[in-house]
Chain A
Amino acid sequence: MNTNTRRALLGAVLAVVPALLVMKNNAVASPAPALLRFHLALSKSEPAANDTLASPKAIKLWFTETVKVAETGVQITGPDKKVVPTAAITMAAVAKSPAVAEIKETLKLGAYTVAWKTMADDGHPTKGTFVFTVGVKKAAQ
């Protein structure tokens, strides 16, 4: 192997090794990666996660940044794994308004999963799920 080839290989190693180390770090995961989120995230919802309540009339989602109706989606799945029909998402033209999806039927008792998706201005999709239960809240003892 001549000197130039050795130098070229050294250069390639110097370039590739940092990249591989970075990627390995990410594969192993930085501290508590589950806690790190994009700037756009769900800040509050109604019903709240793990809430127990009577059949809600709508799902309301508040995000950390303003989102657009066209870039936001909600789907509710019932205890029978069927999708609950909802109206198209609406949002009032007021700052910090929630995205609202009205529920078209009265929900039966059981656990419901809300899956939401939205998109930031940089085009990155953000999504999540939470669960609420339709039932009678147990009185605090």
Chain B
Amino acid sequence: MQRIVILGGGVGGTLTANLLAKRLRREIDAGAAEVLVIDSTGQHVYQPGFMYIAMGGEKAANLQRPERSLLDKRVNLLVGDVVAVDETRAEVRLADGMAIGYDQLVLATGSRIVPEAIPHFEQEAQHFYTAEASARLRIALDAFTGGRIVIGIAGMPYKCPPAPLEVAFLIEAELRERGLREGTTLDYCSPIGRAFTIESVSEMATPILEQKRIELHTFFNVEAIDPERKVVQSLEGEELPYDLLILVPPHKGQQFLMDSGLAPAPGGWLPTDRHTLLVGGRPNVYALGDATDLPLSKAGSTAHFEAPVVAERIAAAIQGRAPSGKHADYEGKVMCFFEVGDGKGTLLQFDYDHPPKPPKPNQLWHLGKIVFNKTYWHTVPKGRV
């Protein structure tokens, strides 16, 4: 019996499991293969919705469903904390001591935020990377009556690269609606030499920042927060005063992957082949989604387009054939919506060889994002789009 163990019940893990259940239906029914998802909570969370708790009246309860309800009936689910991967024994170990052997291993373990890496972050800075933090940001915005808002990125890479720009645009629009814009300055801090990592997106976003009078500070790598003086300081020697500080927290890969020798410290990102998605040249260990070190957006969309490749390659290995068809290799496909405020959005679609050419922002792409968010549960995890 071939056991495929998938660590993580997010977009990548869930979709990979469901696609494998379809491709290996006969093998699973005959007892020749098993697909097992191990997830620490048993709850599937739609993380792109967090931002809308702060910015769009979304409720945390709408962003979470039991993982079991999203999985094909042929997929087994185990709720537990994985603490180690023992490659010598080809098994994963759980916090309760249980060991589970694998023939094929899929690491869909995501990323984690580490706000504690920056002193005073948790007391001084708001963010939107958990449901709770996003609700706190909403409260802070409701209490805001004017002053200086600083929005920045306190570590790269981070989840959903357009999100801080989107938040800046949405806050600017909200402040105008509330009559607070004239009494507010907005600063946007980018760690690199432009507004966004991808040049074509930067070229689209920079004029919008200018038009909205959001001051762009490039090469601003957050180094420290001074809670007494209410200033955020950069490694480059700049400092900005704030009344409301909104920072993307630093992100890392999972600690147990570093401890198990699969991912290098300090980042903990898995060294992943850009086409096969194999980890570090191993023949039976795959990674997808945020967990990889690929030069792509850490976003659900990336995992969404990687999962069919992992599923095809594993199915092929089990069926004793070569991977084939359009999902034999991953070409870096990512597609995501990008809010610019005032009910408008655009679309970023790209791969390794084709940078995005975002269309002029309009209402259609904004509505597209809203519809996608609402229909996610019935489409992406089940492999319908």
Answer yes or no: are A and B bound together in one complex: no
Q: Which residues does B use to contact A, with CB under 8 Å? A: none
